[in-house]
């Protein structure tokens, strides 16, 4: 049976690749996409989600969500990484469908409650929608099947500050609620995603197989690749958000550890994810206070990229 899934996203170049996977994978039943600000403003995120589904000739519900962080002030969107339109400034048509009339958090609550124990939430942007869904109905903690979050960093260091990864940094207060809510959760952070580099030849194969959607994936990739070359001296891109789906479908490609997670919400380390492995005892009981979760510590990057290409070219 295919996995019923809600994809919470801020598309975003690497989000777009992941959306293509969620639309294409035969073992994923994409119930809907919920959008958040992050890589772009909220209206652009929603437009992009609608458009990407349309380019794949699919009609998927899209529910619009968070326009800003819960508490902190919003940073400007990273146009130098994802382009002004979130898709590398690649020229885009206007989608012909509109978003749902209910909000992203309401959509999440409704879908989870309609199919108790079945729905997986995959979140690859700042976590305001999931945090608000928890506030609307705390009971979803027991009714969701599992939650997979692309975000955070355990040993890898940060990508927007020396210690913080972008999705967690963008809304650390929401992240703190979501990562410590007590639902079955796996964190797929930079320790895994930085092991993966999707090169230009691999993107060419994807573009050739994905029709109109492929043009947008390749066009936006070209912009993102230029950023990676300058910033990290890599020829290719880290497909961060696709890794969350890779974990779901191919967990054996990741090394995970179980333990307690915390998020720093203020000060110089805001957005840092702190992990205390289950088997260690620390000097202070505070490190065992939060619920147990799984975090990715490493990954077989080459095999994950092969899986991405395979999924998008079959």
> Which stretch of DSSP H or E encloses residue 49?
helix 42-55
In whole angstroms, the minimum distance from the beta carbon of 117 to ligand BDR comes to 27
CA 150 – CA 194 distance, rounded (Å): 12
Concatenated DSSP letters for 114-158?
HSTTTPEEEE-S-SHHHHHHHHH-TTHHHH-SEEEEE---SSS--
Residue of 25, 82, 90, 240 marked catalytic = 240
Q: What Rg, from alpha-carbon coordinates, does the chain have? A: 18
| Nearest CB to Ca ion, comparing residues 194 and 260 | 194
Residue of 10, 15, 171, 191 marked catalytic = 10
32 binds Ca ion (CB under 5 A): no
How do the residues of the chain divide into helix, strand and coil, expressed in percent and rounded to 5?
40, 20, 40
Q: Map residues 231-260 to x or -, x wherever contact with Ca ion holds by CB under 5 A.
A: ----------x-------------------
166 binds ligand BDR (CB under 6 A): yes
Of 221, 27, 233, whose CA–CA distance to 120 is shortest? 27
In three-state secondary structure terms, 273 is strand
Q: Which does 294 bind (CB under 5 to 8 A by kind): Ca ion, ligand BDR, none?
A: none
CA 240 – CA 248 distance, rounded (Å): 14
Q: Which of 3, 5, 6, 15 binds Ca ion (CB under 5 A)?
A: 15
Stretch that binds ligand BDR, among 160-168, 249-257, 267-275, 286-294 (CB under 6 A): 160-168
Stretch that binds ligand BDR, among 43-51, 158-166, 199-207, 227-235 (CB under 6 A): 158-166
Tell me how far CA of residue 283 lies from CA of 128, 204, 286, 288, in angstroms. 33, 52, 9, 11
Q: Which does 100 bind (CB under 5 to 8 A by kind): ligand BDR, Ca ion, none?
A: none
**C-alpha angle 157-308-207 in degrees, rounded to nearest 5:** 115
Q: Which of 4, 8, 14, 253 binds ligand BDR (CB under 6 A)?
A: 14
Q: Which residues in the 221-250 window bind ligand BDR by CB under 6 A?
A: 240-241
**What length does the chain have?**
314
Q: Map residues 54-93 to x or -, x wherever contact with ligand BDR holds by CB under 6 A.
A: ----------------------------------------
Sign of CA dihedral 200, 57, 101, 242: negative
Q: Which residues in the 24-53 window bind ligand BDR by CB under 6 A?
A: 39
Stretch that binds Ca ion, among 122-130, 154-162, 247-255, 297-305 (CB under 5 A): 122-130
| Nearest CB to ligand BDR, comparing residues 188 and 309 | 188
12 binds Ca ion (CB under 5 A): yes
Strand partners for 292: 260
Residues that bind Ca ion (CB under 5 A): 10, 12, 15, 124-125, 241
Q: Which residues are marked as active site?
A: 10, 240
């Amino acid at each position: 049976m295919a996995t019923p899934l809600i994809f919470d996203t801020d598309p975003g170049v690497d989000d777009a690749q992941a959306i293509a996977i969620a639309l294409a994978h035969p073992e994923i039943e994409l119930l809907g996409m919920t959008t958040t600000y992050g890589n772009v403003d909220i209206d652009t995120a929603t437009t992009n989600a609608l458009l990407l589904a349309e380019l794949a000739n699919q009609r998927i519900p899209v529910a619009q969500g968070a326009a800003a962080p819960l508490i902190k002030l919003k940073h400007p969107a990273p146009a130098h990484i994802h382009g002004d339109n979130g898709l590398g400034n690649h020229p885009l048509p206007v989608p012909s469908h509109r978003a749902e009339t209910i909000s992203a958090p309401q959509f999440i609550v409704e879908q989870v409650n309609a199919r108790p124990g079945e729905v997986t939430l995959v979140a690859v942007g700042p976590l305001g929608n999931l945090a608000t869904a928890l506030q609307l109905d705390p009971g979803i903690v027991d009714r969701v099947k599992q939650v997979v979050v692309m975000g955070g960093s355990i040993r890898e260091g940060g990508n927007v500050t020396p210690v913080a990864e972008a999705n967690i940094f963008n809304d650390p207060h929401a992240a703190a609620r979501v990562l410590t809510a007590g639902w079955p959760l796996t964190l797929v952070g930079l320790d895994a995603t930085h092991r993966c580099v999707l090169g230009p030849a691999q993107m060419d194969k994807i573009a050739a197989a994905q029709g109109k959607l492929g043009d947008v994936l390749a066009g936006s990739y070209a912009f993102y690749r230029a950023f990676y070359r300058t910033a990290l001296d890599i020829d290719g891109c880290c497909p961060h958000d696709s890794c969350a789906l890779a974990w779901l479908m191919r967990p054996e490609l990741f090394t995970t550890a179980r333990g307690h997670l915390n998020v720093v919400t203020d000060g110089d380390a805001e957005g840092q994810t702190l992990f205390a492995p289950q088997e260690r005892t620390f000097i202070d009981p505070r490190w065992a206070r939060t619920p147990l979760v799984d975090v990715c510590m490493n990954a077989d990057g080459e095999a994950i990229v092969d899986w991405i290409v395979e999924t998008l070219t079959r």
